[in-house]
Amino acid sequence: MNADAEKVSGISIEVEDLVGIRGQLSSLSLTSLHRRASHRSGAREVRLRGRGMEYEESRAYVHGDDVRTMDWRVMARTGEAHTKVFAEEKERRFLIAADLSASMYFGTRFSFKSWAAAQVAAHVGWLASFAGDRIGGLIVTPESHHEVRPGKTRSGLLGVFHHLAQASNISLPVDTSRNRLNFLLREINRVVKPGSIIALITDFMGIDEQSLELLSAIVRHNDISAYWIHDDTEINTWPGGHYQVLADRQKVGFDLTGSKADNWLTQWQGNHRGQIESLTSQLNIPLFPVTCNREITAQIINNLTLK
């Protein structure tokens, strides 16, 4: 971001601010957040996937061993029957997938969507940390993308915070044509291991049929929740009047007073929200709408505590 916007509240993402969120969440858990979302949206309750076990070693086969755990590769190499031994996996992998496409560097009041996304990432990240999960991340911006491998203790979470803070230093105006949602979903499919928990944080700009295909592959073997970051102007009726917006790095003016533009905007709002709700409902993905126009902690706690 340019120098004039450095350390501006609601725009600049600071690591120390994300770290400071920890103290506000000590009595809360992701489990109750997921349960609340499932109840509200009609989605199935989130359950653990995968075998919950991690490969430890192979040993000689003993009569009575489960044939499903046979190690065929070792058998082919040695000519003797072997079976895999698994240890209980005490930690789960938690992936924070943050879509900071060009459309996220926008906000009419209180904050940019990008800032709100970082706040959401910190909230769910700390809750996952309290649960003992190994936290990693994928952060996609218009200019770059970064992968943080799941780390023990809090190293992975702090790595995510670092890249989120870097993301607020991109040069504005950004190329508004560079939507990266599907790129992020492809990256999730590439790096995620079965049985992971995924927090997808995005404004869903650029959602299409390919998004459905990519998400279908992700939910097949993982638990995913979606955090829809939006500005209130993307879901509410705009007051009539003349507006100026930045499109393709040029200012464009339009009038919404009884105009076709007003009708087009209302139709676009309905279509976009319908796409998001249809996709998440079809795939049984808990959906959490989060506005960038209000304080984030209150919205997260509201989702946790309302019955």
Check pLDDT > 50 for residue 298: yes
Smallest Cα–Cα separation from 285: which of 57, 98, 31, 43? 43
Contact between residue 81 and residue 70 where contact means Cβ atoms under 8 Å apart = yes
Question: Could you tell me if residue 206 is left (phi over 0), alpha (psi between -120 and 50 degrees) or otherwise beta?
Answer: left
Residue with tokens 């599907």: 182
pTM for this model (two decimals): 0.78
Q: Kindly report the length of the chain.
A: 307
Specify the range with the lowest mean pLDDT, choosing from 2-6, 158-162, 247-251.
2-6
The arithmetic mean of pLDDT across residues 276-292, rounded, is 95
Specify the range with the lowest mean pLDDT, choosing from 46-60, 97-111, 152-166.
46-60
Check pLDDT > 90 for residue 292: yes
pLDDT in tens, 157-201: 999 999 999 988 776 555 556 678 999 999 999 999 888 999 999
Pairing between β-strand 223-230 and β-strand 197-202 as defined by DSSP bridges? parallel
CB atoms closer than 10 angstroms to residue 65: 16
Distance CA 229, CA 104 (A): 8
Name the residue type at position 212: L
What pLDDT is stored for residue 205 in this prediction? 94
The arithmetic mean of pLDDT across residues 110-127, rounded, is 96
Check pLDDT > 50 for residue 50: no
Q: Which two tokens stand for residue 141?
A: 């911006």
At residue 80, the 3 state secondary structure works out as coil
Q: What is the DSSP string of 205-229?
A: TT--HHHHHHHHHHHTTSEEEEEEE
CATH of domain 3-48+90-305: 3.40.50.410
Q: Which two tokens stand for residue 300?
A: 């997260």
Q: How many CA atoms lie within 13 A of 266 on its CB side?
A: 12
At residue 283, the 3 state secondary structure works out as coil
At residue 238, the 3 state secondary structure works out as coil
Distance CA 118, CA 137 (A): 12
Q: CATH 3.40.50.410 residue ranges in the chain?
A: 3-48+90-305
